[in-house]
């Protein structure tokens, strides 16, 4: 069924009787050519591109809970490609380009909204660093603009310009950045994958890998054994746990990142604003809620909930940056489990087990990467070749000494 | 004696004393401070006859006091001896220990009141210490508005607050704000 | 969170700075044969368990002790804490 | 009929207030909601999506409908629930989310178009043409969405934070909470009783019940008087405990000044409460029953209606009907009759329902429709498919009660469905450790049970702490059960609202089911159910039950919803608390700050520090003029700069040298006493962590410096090495950063200047050579330390004195050096001189740099096991060719810009041909042009080559020559003379 405005009108006039399930609820087959472990954003996108772009058949996505219950279901919905290093920027720009045609491609309005991101500058050193970054973005084919203080003021007059501990001296803007409706992305990919024949199997937990002679044969699940030609694991947040079942230790720690939404408010900020001096970033959803976040809680956790100090820290940052939001109220908080990698950069690679592939380590950059991650992982699974944009995101980069450390924090995941 | 004139941590020629409601806040510029740390096998000294307090403790005797700052480490206070080379005097009392001069490392505010109630109320607003359980003779380092501070309960109605000297203005702002709000409430 | 400091009793976790897995106590010998792979493992690989985790916390706004805290990463329940120095000395013996 | 007799309001005082500009009066004790109802106002707002007229639905914090903008100007507070806004003199409130007057909202057209706005419709449309999304569709949606509008002005009120500790925290001051608090407080333990209301009592104030031989409010007053008298108990009124965090830490907001025209001190205080045990006695929230057009103003929860009548003596209409599926609704009817309100019908689907008083009972009937454009006028009652219309201005709906177990599931514990209670109850395990749920929140809904249960919960909690407490004598109270017989919705074709604020109807849930959005999380996300400001308090369980009916599964099979903080929405300002302006973060001042300020210095934030950036003099019109002068004066005469901000760590002990050998990549144990050495510190991953100097003051005593930015992390790292890696070493560390004021005295006249302040100390090159250090006295006996080190490339020293003398020493040096050209300089000149000398600083040491890149690869000693050494031997790090080079424009008029990327001439400029970047740049008065430092691929072999610096961000591209990074005195003769 194709979605369109005409369809909505036609259904409205006929009592909505014609709407079909967005996807089937199939029972698992005994075997597939490709089994994707994880029905979050990256897993669904991988299945979608495998089926649609790489024209592979017999694909299943196995999801422990409900589709989209990974971090795609709990994030701050920001899309951007404002990275610095060659190991990252071309990849995220590739993702940005996929975002730009995504909804027309999968015929689902994921509300991709390019209202821009503004990174604030408070010191001369930061301006130098952002200039380097902005240039890196332009050199990779992305867009970037460096603003002075007056230009920032014009763009966001409600920021604290006159009474701030860390005065605003400028900003780096990416106009093509913005937000997307996170659940819509998951549903769009899920529906698209289903249309192309992918079996989306919910409530199916992978409990083990069947590996013989260094080759993966299939997966044990809560719904029985499922054979597989190739297995792609895309379970950010649980990567260490799942890969431990294949006997691997990863350069990853799991950390909780909280995010927040305010009560609905009439439009007050158009795009995304980040405040590095105070650990705060914010956008406003189409429904009117301010969506904001800050630092991770900073300790290993699988608990999917955080603690009060980070809530206070984020709110402090928000108040220092935009004192006008004082009388808005925090409505909901949640905590997602991040795959914090040792250099802050993801991993998309083969593993030492033949036929077993890994997509992990997204830190808190996973949402914006969804399209490119799915595409590149599908490329790797289908062709056996690393997609050009992920050529540095290798698992062995740590031992080879080719880390991609955007923040320069070294092997301490909670600082990335 | 040097012919240079010292400044108080708040940047004035004379240290500040201010009364806010029931609380008096005084910058103690006369206190000499030196840290004392045990070395391996040094044994625990009794500088100036003072039995050093255990974890979380503060002890005083005849103008000399000490508070525990970490395993095998204390800060030793000498009232009114800021101008002397107190670290050297302490080293003489604890030859086998490591001693570092700290007099100017901290700003020290002495906060006093007639009884415990205003001190407790102030503590509740400033630091995450159990204000009632923090009895006289207690000393802790803890956080205060993104700063690290030492808090000493010298008596029921007497609190000392030590912070980085360079942050004296910020610490004082926090204390003063809390005190004024308590008074106005 | 409250960290049960072995000397000071329960202290708010905000006073602490987190480092990570207590396996960081087990630094390989840099002068030994095969030091490089041992260091790659030490610096980068983690068990990252969902459950009991021994980890390093520094009492930065406190007594400046490094602690080894045993904590359940699923529930955040803390099962114990000791001075890292004691753990390290014990390991050396 | 509006105001009845009785109630807990102070009729001796009248408060004036306004709603949408219209003046009204109320009394102390009123909420805005009760006062509006007492004035006969039923229409107070509009719903989110369809802009349907909405009235007051509840009497507490669960209110989904009656949202207003409270106050005006910068204090305007959107989305405020009228049901919790305490009335004060002069209160102003306005309705929100409508275009045009509240009674004639132009966006109410959405309601007519509602068939087009079914659940999830927006995912299916607005995709064509693509550019219309940002340009047309989305702005339209954004304008229509949202609820209240912000003032866009800074919040003028003050906020506070604090910390409380107790043995027992009791959350909720109703029957169970009061009984718990009494039990615990009498035993002498430290108790905090927090209640979100401005008056203790909870539902005891809302019922017409007696406790023992007195009205319940009298018993509450007596209990409260006792609690207030106990020194070990603290009552936090107007305080919402909004979150249960780890290890007994609870977040609570006390609304200190929200009930006042303007706050006396702070508006709200954020309390972080650390409790050993916690009793959650938060009561229960009544459920409604979805039926056709169940959302009109005047339709409200029956229990809320009862509360308005008893506590506030307010009834908004003459004719009242009740729709109930349980006995509790009949209580409301009986109470209303007793209060003299005309009850026109009680509609109960149970055929065997019994009346509790004198009112018309429609047993075996349901409400199937309503009328009334801006407020309820008629209710349609259907029995056996035979509808009748009756008149009613208010319809109370009683669908049973849901325990307020929210905090008990804040640790992701799942509530359990109880068939007996027909409700979710707190799970026996998985809740926050130490927390017990009591009273109606635990399903103990009768007054008698709540009192007993609260007291018993307190006794058990204390027993758990090893404290015995006696149960108090509790008054006899009602044990009338509500008898829950849920009616989850009345079937029908018209829309029946489940979530009022977000306009989610039974139809939407059916559509979600039809489209396979059946898991409860999909249901919520597809329909926006439970996402409103009431967080689903009045909707979620009902929606689950409707979905369960559709799937044919039980409610627990269909799912549960768990709750996360906050329990009710919390203002951003109070969470941020404290200072948000200049005191947002601490400000550290250097010892010479006062002097610098008096000289008119311009300051700059460097981390927490405020440092003098430059010292403008009269006649200088640009900062460049000033900085050039400071640099030239230093290089020609002598300059003085406060460098106190560098971290200083005292390292003592027998093994201090051995310890530093393991911390620094280069050797330190071999350093002679009285000498200083530059130290390079790596992270264990082999990248450069920090740099600084080590001065050996004695065999067993070093002083090391760190960069300003890394002082804290490096100290922590050193303690890690000391305690965790090499505990066997005898070494002691302590920071002395603030204890010493330190000044760089640099320039050819540095020695001559210092000779004028030292007390008989031989500064000659022979006695005190480059990299020497010594303790000494200055200015007539002041203890000091002198280090002969140089960052500027000039003959230079750093002189340290006790911090309180720093200001005077700075003044003295400038004064006594006037004839030598003594010039204070700031961080800008410092930066220029270090770039001219090719010294790395923050822009180079950004955590991504290797020793090799800095040209210091050889410093990494292979002869010892220092942190980071091994990992530098990885293939990728050995293969690194980028190296620090100097850069000079081919055309001296061209700028050099930090952040530009470096390319070979003539190649395409893209990511893959990128050869490096400019890290630092400045105008060098010494060279006479702009200069820069940068990392360049194969940089060490490219001296003399012309390359291109691309800065497409600012549309500039310049040709630069690669030169040595040492623009000044490359041989280093000056600093050794």
Neighbours of A97 (CB within 10 A): 16
Chains in touch with A (3+ beta-carbon pairs under 8 Å) read C, D
D723 in C contact zone (CB under 8 Å): yes
Last residue of a domain, one of A341, A373, A393: A341
Cβ distance B104 to D740 less than 8 Å, yes or no, reads: yes
Per-residue model confidence (pLDDT) at position D428: 86
Q: What average pLDDT score do residues D930-934 get?
A: 98
Question: Could you tell me the residue range of the domain that residue A221 belongs to?
Answer: 21-78+84-93+100-105+182-251+343-415
- Look at residue D919 in the predicted model and tell me its pLDDT: 98
Structural domain count, chain D:
4
Residues D183 and D263 in one domain: yes
Residues from chain A contacting residue D411 (CB–CB below 8 Å) = 303, 305
pLDDT of residue D483: 82
Q: Are residues A250 and C46, on separate chains, in Cβ contact within 8 Å? A: yes
pLDDT at D676 (0 to 100): 98
From the list B39, B104, B171, the residue facing D802 with the nearest CB is: B104
pLDDT at A396 > cutoff 90: yes
Q: Tell me if B4 is assigned to some domain.
A: no
Q: What is the mean pLDDT of chain A?
A: 97
Chains in contact with chain C (at least 3 beta-carbon pairs closer than 8 A) = A, B, D
Whether residue D657 lies inside any domain: the answer is yes
Q: How far is B150 from chain C (nearest CA, A)?
A: 9
Distance from CA of D774 to the nearest CA of A (A): 34
- pLDDT value of position D484: 84
Contact D78 A13 (CB under 8 A): no
Residues of A in contact with C76 (CB under 8 A): 301, 303
Is position A13 within any domain? no
Please compute the mean of the pLDDT values over residues D805-825 and round it to a whole number: 98
C85 touches chain D (CB under 8 A): yes
Judge whether A118 lies within some domain: yes
Residues D638, D662, single domain; the answer is: no
Q: Is residue A389 part of a domain?
A: yes
Domain boundaries, chain C: 2-25+35-92
Does a structural domain hold residue B58? Answer: yes
Domain assignment present for A3: no
Verify whether the Cβ–Cβ distance C85 to B142 is below 8 Å.
Answer: no
Query: Which pLDDT score is estimated for A274?
Result: 97
For residue range B22-44, list pLDDT tens digits in order: 999 999 999 999 999 999 998 99
Residue B1 located in a structural domain: no
Residue A309 in this model has a pLDDT that exceeds 80? yes
Chain D residues with beta carbon closer than 8 angstroms to that of A405: 687, 847-848
* Domain identity same for A197 and A322: no
pLDDT digits (tens, 9 = 90+) for A259-293: 999 999 999 999 999 998 889 999 999 999 999 99
**Are D756 and D696 found together in one domain?**
no
> Which ranges constitute the DSSP H helices of A197-331?
239-244, 308-321
CATH 3.30.2270.10 assigned to domain C2-25+35-92? The reply is: yes
Is residue B129 situated within a structural domain? Answer: yes
pLDDT band at D13 (very low <50, low <70, confident <90, very high): very high
**Residue D877 at interface with chain C, using a CB cutoff of 8 Å:** no
Residues D814 and D960 in one domain: no
Residue from C40, C44, C77 to probe the interface with A (highest A Cβ count within 10 Å): C44
B128, B141, B143: residue with CB nearest C63: B141
Q: How many domains does chain B have?
A: 1
Q: How far is CA A216 from CA A51, A62, A211, A350, D885, in A?
A: 21, 16, 4, 12, 50
* D968-D971-D976 Cα angle (round to 5): 95
Instruction: Give yes or no: residues A205 and A330 share one domain.
Output: no
pLDDT in tens, C36-75: 999 999 999 999 999 999 999 999 999 999 999 999 999 9
Work out the mean pLDDT of chain D and round it to a whole number.
96
Show which of D779, D801, D834 is a domain's final residue. D834
Q: Which residues of A touch D847 (CB under 8 A)?
A: 405, 407-410
Please check whether residues D754 and D632 belong to one and the same domain: yes
Using the CB atoms, write b or e for D402-424: b if 16+ within 10 Å: bbbbbbbbbbbbbbbbeeebbbb
Sort D863 into a burial class: Cβ within 10 Å, 0-12 / 13-18 / 19+.
Answer: exposed
| Neighboring chains of B (3 or more beta-carbon pairs < 8 A) | C, D
Contact call for D736 and B128, based on CB within 8 A: no
- The residue in chain C having the minimum alpha-carbon distance to the alpha carbon of residue A399 is C40
**What tens digit of pLDDT does each residue of D373-393 get?**
999 999 999 999 999 999 999
Q: What pLDDT was estimated at residue D783?
A: 96
Query: Scanning every residue of chain D, which has its alpha carbon at the shortest distance from the alpha carbon of B70?
Result: D734
Residue in B with minimal Cα distance to C63: B70
According to DSSP, residue D27 is labeled -
Is-contact C35 D874, C-beta < 8 A?
no
Alpha carbon of D217: minimum distance to chain A alpha carbons (Å): 32
Residue of chain C with shortest Cα separation from B143: C61
Q: Which residues contact D466 (CB under 8 A, 6 or more apart)?
A: none
CATH of the domain at A163: 3.30.9.10
Q: Note the Cα A374 to chain centre separation in Å.
A: 11
Residues A348 and A410 in one domain: yes
Same domain (yes/no): A269, A386: no
Yes or no, beta carbons of A240 and C74 under 8 Å apart: no
Q: Do A270 and A247 fall within a single domain? A: no
What is the ipTM score, two decimals?
A: 0.98
CATH number at residue D690: 3.30.70.1400
Task: Give the pLDDT confidence of A108-126 residue by residue, as tens digits.
Answer: 999 999 999 999 999 999 9
Q: What is the tens place of the pLDDT at every residue in A222-250?
A: 999 999 999 999 999 999 999 999 999 99
Q: What percent of chain D has pLDDT over 90?
A: 96
Distance (Å) from the alpha carbon of B60 to chain D's nearest alpha carbon = 23
Q: What is the mean pLDDT of residues B113-132?
A: 97
CA neighbor of A200 nearest in space, from A346, A16, A22, A413: A22
Same domain as D820, residue D913: no
* D774, D799, D834 - which closes a domain: D834
Count of the separate structural domains present in chain A: 2
Tell me if D83 sits within 8 A of D56, measured CB to CB. yes
User: Closest Cα of chain C to A361: distance in Å?
Assistant: 13
C73–A300 CB contact, under 8 Å: yes
Out of C13, C40, C76, closest to residue A398 by CB: C40
Within-domain flag for D127: no
User: Which residue from B68, B140, B143 is facing C14, i.e. has the nearest CB?
Assistant: B143
Residue finishing a domain among D711, D735, D759: D735
A229 and A302, same domain (yes or no)? no
For D62-84, what is the mean pLDDT? 98
Distance between CA D651 and CA D701 in Å, rounded?
6
Same domain, yes or no, for A402 and A264? no
Using an 8 Å CB-CB cutoff, list residues of chain C that contact chain B.
Answer: 7-9, 11-12, 14-15, 60-65, 83, 85
Residues C62, B141: Cα–Cα separation, whole Å: 5
Under 8 Å between Cβ of C3 and C62: no
Q: Which of A292, A315, A341 is the last residue of a domain?
A: A341
Picking from A341, A360, A378, the residue at the C-terminal end of a domain is A341
User: Which residues share a beta bridge with D3?
Assistant: D314
C46 and chain A in contact, CB less than 8 A: yes
Does residue A265 fall inside a structural domain? yes
**Is position B123 within any domain?**
yes
Statement: residue D2 has pLDDT above 80: no
Do residues D823 and D943 share a domain? no
Q: Which of A76-80, D166-170, D313-317 has the lowest mean pLDDT?
A: D313-317
Bin D212: left if φ > 0, else alpha if -120 < ψ < 50, else beta: left
pTM surpassing 0.95? yes
pLDDT value at position D253? 98
Q: Is residue B3 part of a domain?
A: no
pLDDT class for D404, splitting at 50, 70, 90? Answer: very high
pLDDT at D215: 96
D764 and D688 assigned to the same domain: no
D739:B184 CB<8 A? no
Query: What is the pLDDT at residue A51?
Result: 98
Q: What is the pLDDT of residues A140-180, one digit of tens each?
A: 999 999 999 999 999 999 999 999 999 999 999 999 999 99
Residue D316 pLDDT grade (very low, low, confident, very high; cuts 50, 70, 90): confident
Same domain? A257 vs A334: yes
Nearest CB among D684, D723, D865 relative to C66 is that of D723
CB contact under 8 A, B69 and C64: yes
Best of A259, A401, A415 to disrupt the D interface (most D CBs within 10 Å) is: A401
D277 and D200 within one domain? yes
Cα(B5)–Cα(D881) distance, integer angstroms: 53
pLDDT digits (tens, 9 = 90+) for D207-228: 999 999 999 999 999 999 999 9
Angle, vertex CA C14, rays to CA C9 and CA C17, nearest 5 = 95
Contact status of B49 with chain D (Cβ, < 8 Å): no
Structure tokens at A201: 């199997």
CA distance D79 to chain B (A): 28
Q: Are residues A265 and A410 in the same domain?
A: no
Domain that holds residue D941: 881-976
Domain that holds residue B166: 17-184
Does the distance separating the beta carbons of C50 and A299 come in below 8 Å?
A: no
The verdict on a CB contact (< 8 Å) between B71 and C85 is yes
Is pLDDT above 70 for D1?
no
CA A333, A334, A336 angle in degrees (round to 5)? 155
Q: How many CB pairs under 8 A join A and C?
A: 68
Same domain, A170 and A259: yes
Kindly report the length of chain D: 977
Check CB contact under 8 Å for D727 and C30. Answer: no
What residues of D are in contact with residue B124 (Cβ under 8 Å)? 162-164
User: Does D262 reside within a domain?
Assistant: yes
Q: Residue A5 falls within a domain, yes or no?
A: no
Q: Are D662 and D698 found together in one domain? A: yes
pLDDT at res. D736: 97
Q: What residues contact D709, with CB distance under 8 A and at least 6 apart? A: D606, D607, D842
Give pLDDT, residue D74. Answer: 97
Size of interface C-D (CB pairs under 8 A): 74
Tell me whether residues A249 and C20 touch, CB distance under 8 A. no
Beta pairing class for D159-171 and D268-280: parallel
**Cβ C13–A249 below 8 Å, yes or no?**
no
Domain at D953, CATH number: 2.40.30.110
Q: Are residues D635 and D662 in the same domain?
A: no
pLDDT in tens, D436-494: 999 999 999 899 999 999 999 999 999 999 999 999 999 999 888 888 889 999 999 99
> Is D579–B29 a contact, with Cβ atoms under 8 angstroms apart?
no
Is D716 at the interface with chain C, CB within 8 A?
yes
Residue A15 maps to a domain: no
Mutate to test the interface with C, among D727, D734, D865 (most CBs of C within 10 A): D727
For D104-113, write each residue's pLDDT tens digit.
999 999 999 9
In this model, does residue A101 exceed pLDDT 60?
A: yes
User: C9 to chain A nearest CA, in Å?
Assistant: 20
* Calpha distance B64→D770 (Å, rounded): 41
- Are B141 and C65 within 8 A, CB to CB? no
pLDDT > 70? residue A391: yes
CA distance C56 to chain B (A): 17
Asked whether residue D813 falls in the same domain as residue D687, the answer is no
A189 and A41 belong to one structural domain: yes
């Amino acid at each position: 069924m194709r979605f369109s405005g005409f369809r909505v009108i036609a259904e409205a006039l006929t009592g909505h009787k014609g709407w079909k399930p967005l996807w089937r609820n199939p029972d698992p087959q005994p075997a597939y050519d490709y089994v994707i472990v994880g029905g979050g954003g990256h897993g669904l996108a991988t299945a979608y591109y495998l089926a649609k772009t790489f024209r592979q058949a017999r694909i299943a996505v196995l999801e422990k809970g409900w589709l989209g219950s990974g971090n795609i279901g709990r994030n701050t919905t920001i899309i951007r490609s404002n990275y610095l290093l060659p190991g990252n920027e071309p990849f995220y720009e590739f993702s940005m380009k996929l975002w730009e045609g995504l909804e027309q491609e999968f015929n689902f309005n994921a509300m991709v909204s390019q209202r821009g991101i503004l990174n604030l500058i408070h010191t001369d050193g930061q301006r130098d660093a952002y200039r380097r970054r902005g240039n890196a973005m332009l050199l990779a084919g992305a867009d970037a603009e460096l603003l002075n203080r007056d230009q920032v003021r014009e763009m966001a007059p409600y920021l604290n310009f006159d009474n701030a501990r860390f005065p605003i001296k400028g900003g780096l803007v990416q106009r093509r950045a913005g937000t997307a409706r996170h659940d819509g992305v998951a549903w769009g990919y899920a529906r698209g994958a289903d249309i192309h024949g992918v079996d989306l199997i919910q409530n199916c937990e992978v409990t083990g890998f069947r590996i013989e002679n260094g080759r993966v044969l299939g997966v044990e699940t809560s719904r029985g054994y499922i054979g597989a030609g190739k297995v792609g694991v895309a379970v950010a947040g649980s990567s260490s746990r799942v890969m431990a079942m294949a006997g691997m230790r990863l350069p990853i720690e799991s950390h909780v990142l909280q995010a927040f939404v305010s009560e609905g408010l009439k439009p007050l900020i158009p795009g995304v604003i980040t405040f590095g001096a105070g650990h705060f970033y914010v956008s406003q959803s189409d429904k009117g809620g301010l969506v904001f976040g800050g630092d991770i809680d900073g300790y290993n956790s699988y608990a999917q909930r955080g603690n009060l100090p980070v809530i206070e820290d984020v709110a402090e940052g928000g108040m220092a940056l935009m004192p006008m939001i004082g009388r808005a109220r925090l409505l909901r908080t949640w905590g997602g489990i991040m795959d914090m990698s040792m250099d802050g950069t993801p991993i998309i690679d083969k593993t030492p087990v033949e036929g077993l592939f890994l997509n992990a380590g997204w830190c808190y950059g996973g949402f914006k990467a969804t399209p490119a991650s799915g595409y590149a992982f599908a490329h790797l699974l289908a062709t056996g070749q690393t997609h050009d944009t992920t050529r540095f995101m290798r698992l062995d980069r740590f031992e080879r000494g080719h880390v991609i450390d955007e923040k320069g924090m070294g092997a301490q995941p909670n600082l990335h | 004696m040097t012919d240079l004139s010292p400044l108080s941590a708040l940047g004035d020629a004379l240290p500040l004393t201010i009364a806010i409601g029931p609380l008096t806040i005084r910058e103690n510029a006369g206190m000499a401070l030196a840290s004392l740390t045990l070395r391996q096998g040094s044994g625990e000294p009794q500088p100036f006859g003072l039995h050093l307090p255990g974890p979380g403790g503060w002890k005083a005797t005849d103008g000399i006091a000490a508070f525990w700052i970490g395993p095998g480490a204390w800060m030793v206070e000498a009232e009114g001896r800021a101008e002397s080379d107190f670290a050297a005097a302490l080293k003489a009392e604890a030859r086998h220990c490591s001693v570092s001069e700290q007099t100017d490392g901290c700003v020290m505010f002495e906060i006093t009141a007639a009884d415990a109630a205003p001190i407790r109320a102030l503590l509740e607003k400033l630091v995450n210490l159990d204000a009632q359980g923090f009895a006289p003779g207690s000393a802790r380092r803890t956080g205060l508005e993104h700063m690290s501070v030492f808090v000493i309960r010298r008596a029921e109605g007497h609190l000392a607050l030590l912070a980085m000297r360079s942050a004296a203005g910020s610490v004082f702002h926090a204390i003063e704000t809390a005190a004024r709000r308590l008074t106005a409430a | 969170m409250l960290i049960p400091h072995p000397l000071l009793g329960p202290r708010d976790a905000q006073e602490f700075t987190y480092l990570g897995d207590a396996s960081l106590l087990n630094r390989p010998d840099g002068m030994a044969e095969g030091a490089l792979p041992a260091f790659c493992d030490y610096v980068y690989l983690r068990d990252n368990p969902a459950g009991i985790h021994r980890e390093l916390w520094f009492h930065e706004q406190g007594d400046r002790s490094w602690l080894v805290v045993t904590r359940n990463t699923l529930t955040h329940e803390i099962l114990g804490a000791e001075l890292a120095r004691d753990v390290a000395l014990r390991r050396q013996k | 009929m509006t105001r009845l007799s009785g109630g807990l309001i102070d009729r001796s005082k009248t408060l004036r207030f306004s709603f949408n500009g219209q003046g009204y009066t109320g009394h102390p004790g009123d909420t805005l909601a009760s006062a509006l109802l007492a004035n006969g106002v039923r229409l107070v707002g509009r719903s989110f999506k369809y802009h349907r007229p909405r009235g007051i639905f509840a009497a507490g914090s669960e209110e989904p409908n009656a949202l207003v903008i409270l106050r005006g100007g910068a204090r305007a507070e959107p989305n405020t629930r009228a049901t919790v806004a305490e009335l004060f003199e002069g209160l102003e409130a306005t309705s929100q989310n409508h275009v045009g007057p509240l009674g004639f909202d132009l966006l109410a057209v959405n309601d007519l178009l509602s068939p087009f706005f079914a659940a999830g419709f927006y995912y299916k449309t607005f995709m064509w043409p693509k550019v219309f999304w940002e340009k047309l569709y989305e702005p339209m949606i954004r304008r229509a969405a949202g609820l209240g509008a912000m003032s866009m002005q800074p919040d003028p009120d003050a906020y506070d934070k604090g910390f409380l500790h107790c043995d027992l925290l009791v959350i909720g001051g109703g029957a169970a909470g009061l009984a718990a608090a009494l039990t615990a407080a009498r035993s002498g333990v430290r108790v905090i009783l927090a209640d979100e209301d401005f008056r203790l009592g909870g539902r005891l104030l809302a019922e017409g019940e007696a406790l023992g031989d007195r009205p319940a409010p009298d018993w509450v007053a007596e209990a409260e008087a006792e609690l207030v008298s106990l020194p070990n108990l603290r009552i936090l009124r107007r305080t919402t405990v909004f979150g249960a965090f780890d290890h007994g830490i609870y977040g609570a907001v006390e609304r200190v000044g929200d009930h006042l025209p303007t706050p006396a001190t702070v508006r709200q205080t954020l309390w972080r409460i650390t409790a050993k045990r916690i009793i959650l006695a938060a009561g229960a929230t009544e459920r409604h029953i979805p039926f056709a057009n169940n959302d009109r103003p005047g339709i409200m929860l029956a229990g809320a209606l009862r509360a308005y009548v008893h506590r506030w003596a307010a009834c908004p209409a003459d004719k009242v009907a009740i729709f109930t599926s349980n006995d509790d609704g009949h209580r409301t009817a009986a109470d209303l009759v007793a209060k003299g309100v005309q009850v026109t019908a009680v509609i109960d689907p149970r055929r065997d329902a019994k009346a509790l008083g004198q009112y018309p009972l429609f047993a075996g009937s349901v409400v199937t429709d309503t009328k009334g454009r801006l407020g309820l006028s008629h209710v349609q009652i259907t029995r056996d498919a035979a509808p009748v219309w009756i008149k009613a201005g208010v319809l109370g709906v009683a669908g049973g009660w849901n325990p307020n177990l929210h905090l008990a599931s804040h640790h992701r514990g799942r509530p359990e469905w109880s068939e007996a209670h027909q409700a979710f109850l707190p799970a026996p395990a998985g809740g926050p450790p130490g927390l017990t749920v009591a009273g109606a929140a635990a399903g103990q809904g009768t007054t008698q049970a709540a009192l007993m249960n609260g007291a018993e919960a307190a006794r058990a909690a204390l027993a758990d702490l090893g404290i015995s407490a006696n149960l108090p004598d509790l008054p006899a109270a009602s044990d009338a059960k509500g008898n829950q017989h849920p009616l989850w919705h009345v079937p029908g074709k018209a829309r029946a609202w489940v979530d009022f604020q977000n306009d989610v109807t039974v139809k939407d849930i059916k559509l979600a089911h039809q489209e396979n959005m059946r898991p409860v999380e999909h249901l919520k996300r597809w329909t926006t159910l439970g996402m409103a400001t009431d967080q689903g308090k009045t909707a979620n369980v009902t929606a689950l039950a409707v979905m369960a009916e559709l799937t044919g599964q039980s409610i627990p099979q269909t799912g549960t919803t768990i709750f996360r903080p906050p329990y009710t929405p919390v203002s951003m300002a109070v969470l941020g608390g404290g200072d948000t302006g200049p005191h947002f973060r601490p400000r550290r001042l250097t010892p010479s700050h006062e002097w610098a300020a008096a000289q008119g210095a311009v300051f700059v934030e460097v981390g927490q520090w405020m440092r003098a950036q430059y010292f403008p003099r009269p006649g200088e019109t640009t900062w460049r003029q000033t900085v050039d002068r400071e640099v030239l004066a230093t290089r020609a005469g002598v300059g003085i700069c406060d460098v106190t901000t560098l971290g200083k760590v005292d390292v003592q002990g027998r093994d201090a040298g051995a310890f530093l050998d393991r911390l620094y990549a280069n050797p330190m144990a071999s350093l002679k006493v009285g000498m200083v050495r530059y130290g390079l510190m790596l992270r264990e991953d082999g990248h450069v962590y920090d740099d600084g100097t080590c001065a050996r003051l004695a065999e067993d005593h070093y002083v090391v410096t760190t960069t300003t930015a890394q002082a804290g992390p490096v100290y922590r790292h050193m303690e890690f090495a000391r305690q965790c890696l090499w505990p066997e070493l005898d070494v002691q560390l302590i920071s002395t950063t603030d204890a010493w004021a330190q000044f760089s005295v640099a320039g050819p006249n540095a020695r001559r200047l210092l000779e004028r302040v030292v007390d008989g100390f031989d500064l000659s090159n022979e006695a005190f050579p480059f990299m020497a250090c010594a303790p000494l006295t200055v200015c007539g006996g002041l203890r000091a330390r002198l280090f002969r080190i140089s960052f500027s490339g000039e003959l230079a020293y750093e002189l340290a004195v006790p911090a309180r003398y720093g200001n005077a020493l700075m003044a003295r040096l400038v004064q006594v050096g006037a004839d030598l050209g003594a010039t204070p300089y700031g961080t800008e000149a410092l930066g220029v001189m270090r770039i001219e000398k090719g010294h790395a600083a923050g822009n180079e040491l950004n955590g991504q740099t290797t020793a090799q890149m800095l040209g210091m690869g050889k410093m990494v000693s292979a002869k010892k096991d220092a942190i980071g050494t091994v990992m530098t031997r990885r293939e990728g790090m050995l293969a690194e060719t980028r190296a620090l080079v100097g850069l000079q424009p081919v055309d001296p008029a061209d700028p050099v810009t930090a952040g530009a990327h470096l390319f070979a001439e003539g190649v395409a400029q893209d990511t893959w041909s990128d050869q490096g970047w400019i890290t630092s740049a400045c105008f060098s008065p010494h060279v006479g042009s702009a200069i820069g430092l940068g990392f360049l691929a194969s940089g060490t072999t490219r001296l003399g080559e012309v390359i291109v610096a691309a800065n497409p961000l600012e549309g500039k591209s310049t040709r630069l020559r690669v030169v040595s990074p040492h623009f000044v005195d490359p041989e280093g003769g000056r600093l050794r003379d």
